[in-house]
Chains A and B, each alone.
Chain A
Amino acid sequence: MSRAILSAAPPPDLGPAAPPPAAPGGGAAAPEAQPSAWTRRLRRHGGAIRAGLVGAASIALFVLAWHVVTENRMNLYVRFGNVPSPSDVLASADAALGSSQFLTHILTSCRRILYGFALAAALAIPLGLLMGRFKLLREMIFPVSEVLRPIPAIAWVPMAIMLWPSNEESIVFITFLGSFFPILLNTLHGMATVDPVLGRAARCLGASEAAVFREVYLPATLPQIFTGLTVGMGVAWVSLIAAEMISGQFGIGYFTWEAYSLVQYPDIVLGMITIGLLGLASSFAIRLLGRVLMPWSAAR
């Protein structure tokens, strides 16, 4: 009943972006009394619902393809003979999630990311702001940063092992280095693109130098700072995993590499997926923080 009403109602007044598959699904749960509320909701979220469905379908297709090539041990120049199938990985995930060992690996990695990334943000953001404000400081530090920046964090591994007394510290250091430069450069870039008329407006309203910095330059740079944080978080994970694979004792990167050494192939994939999910979760957390700190950009 309700299905018939809804599938008849939306098409005439919904745009081409309307999701045809969503209508019957939503229609089943729709209260028959107010189809207009449903059409309205559909119209507003139509794009998002459609994107979600397409996304889910594409992931399902990917897993299906993975299943097909691994179950049949296909050899398409790329050899899938030893690649674990989705069900293998699911089984190993089931086992790993039951063990405290796996959780320790995850927590160790998260802790390293947190320390390294927090340290990088705590140093790079103020430094970037000050460099943006004071020309001399910028002229002094920028060349050094330009020389060091192109060196991948992984290339620092031997140096880090020499510099720091323990493995743990050198891994955090590598993570720190990875995220430091993207945050610094984006903050600096943000400072350079602040509309100078805003600073002048603030001074005309009686703001002191310090107040202009706090009330204008800092908030005006926040969006760029968050771009830097997002990029920095990505690079932090890259650097962390590489460092853990080389010199780790715990951590999800170490887990993945160890799985290869121990010929536990499903665990490799489990490690990879876990790394992906952790990266996704951390960038989501940053975006969330950005929303909270920058309500004006969400209002756009």
Chain B
Amino acid sequence: MSAIPLFRRDEAKAPAAAASAPKPKGGLVEVTDFRLRYDSAEGAVDAVTDVSLTIRPGEFVSIIGPSGCGKSTLLNALAGFLKPTSGTVTVDGEPVKGPGADRGVIFQQYSLFPWKTVRENVEFGLKMRGVGRAERARAARTLLGLAGLSAFENHYPDRLSGGMKQRVGIVRALATGPRILLLDEPFGALDAQTRLIMQQILTNMWQRLKISVLFITHDLDEAIFLSDRIYVMTSRPGTVKAEIAVPLPRPREPAMTMSSEFLALRRGLMSLIREESLKAMGGEISEEALQGLAINLDGQDIPRVL
């Protein structure tokens, strides 16, 4: 497993080498018996327990679950921001020790540096690696060009729309040639229409990159549309409730979201998730609460009825 060749920039530069090795280069993620426990005022609380999951090289895997189920915890452990209380997190057989450029992360909050232009943002990872000014500018320009973002090269992030910011964020994460992309509800703050477009861009991008992706979301359609496999998590303490393969053909097209296969998957996932969401809301929700209102007013003036 550790013999899988890593993605290197010089490999990418030589088209012959890339053509002779079309197989994905590394990016095997293994999480085994993951548990995260933290101390609160009420004593130790389990955020996540007994999670084991795998992302095979070049696979697109989503985790969905109700809010607070610890899906972001898993992503943060993979990114290297927190250590599991027990269990292991490895990428290509090596345990994750801390954050690093071999795992690109895209956050839900826009995280472009406002004081850097789009190109300087994309250059950042290369700069940290010690790549010279001219070289990294060239690389960033090329990458922005490939992603269709050349026109915005010299814009400051404040002038970009939310969708555009996330596209630049993805390009920035890709610039260092990571083995895996970790996306933490990246389109969560976008409006519904923009989300759909961004999903399409992401799936097309992935189709060409063939890089391992872990995608966190609570949007069922998004997870089905993008993923090869979906892990469904339970409410807190989070654990894997189900693992569902998405046999839809690739490349994915927006029209597929209307196909019977898609809808069948959606129905199955929906019931799994709904159960957990209700559980996650706990005492807040009862049968009456779901009725919305215990009286039928039929458009009457509320103060008069009261």
A residues apposed to B, CB below 8 Å: 195, 197-198, 200-208, 211, 215-216, 219-220, 222, 294-296, 299-300
Contact = CB atoms under 8 A, between A and B. Distances in A.
Contacts of A215: 113, 124
Given A204-B79, A215-B124, A299 B107 contact: no
B128 A198 contact: no
Given A201-B105, A296-B158, 19 more contacts: A195-B111, A197-B111, A198-B111, A200-B81, A202-B124, A203-B80, A204-B101, A205-B172, A206-B100, A206-B128, A206-B129, A207-B128, A208-B128, A215-B113, A219-B113, A220-B114, A296-B115, A296-B117, A300-B156
Contacts of A203: 80, 98-99
A119 B129 CA distance: 35
Do most interface residues of chain A lie in helix, strand or loop, or is the interface mixed? helix
Interface string B115-148: 1110000001100110000000000000000000
A205 B109 contact: no
Contacts of B113: 198, 201-202, 215-216, 219
A207 B103 CA distance: 13
B178 to A, nearest CB: 9
A204 B105 contact: yes
11 contacts: A195-B109, A200-B81, A200-B111, A201-B113, A202-B113, A203-B98, A204-B80, A204-B173, A205-B125, A296-B117, A299-B159
A294 B114 CA distance: 10
Interface string B68-100: 000000000001110000000000000000111
Nearest to B158: A300
A215 B121 CA distance: 11
Which among B80, B103, B156 has the greatest number of chain A C-beta atoms within 10 A? B156
B235 interface: no
B124 A205 contact: yes
B128 A197 contact: no
B213 to A, nearest CB: 15
Chain B residues touching A, range: 20 to 34
Nearest to B115: A219
Contacts of A200: 79, 81, 99, 105, 107, 111
- Chain B at the A interface: mostly helix, strand, loop or mixed? loop
A-B pairs with the 7 shortest C-beta distances? A206-B101, A201-B111, A205-B125, A203-B99, A206-B128, A204-B105, A219-B115
A212 to B, nearest CB: 10
A157 B128 CA distance: 49
B289 to A, nearest CB: 34
Contacts of A195: 109, 111
Contacts of A299: 156, 158-159
B80 to A, nearest CB: 8
Nearest to A219: B115
A109 B79 CA distance: 55
Contacts of B111: 195, 197-198, 200-201
Nearest to B128: A206
Nearest to B154: A299
Contacts of A295: 156
Interface in B161-212: 172-173, 176
Contacts of A205: 101, 124-125, 128, 172-173, 176
Interface string B39-51: 0000000000000
Contacts of B115: 219-220, 222, 294, 296
Contacts of A198: 111, 113
Contacts of B176: 205-206
B104 interface: yes
Given A198-B111, A216-B113, A219-B115, A204 B104 contact: yes
Which of B109, B113, B156 counts the most chain A CB atoms within 10 A?
B113
Contacts of B172: 205
Contacts of B107: 197, 200-201
A295 B114 CA distance: 10
B78 to A, nearest CB: 11
Nearest to B155: A299
Nearest to B103: A204
B173 to A, nearest CB: 7
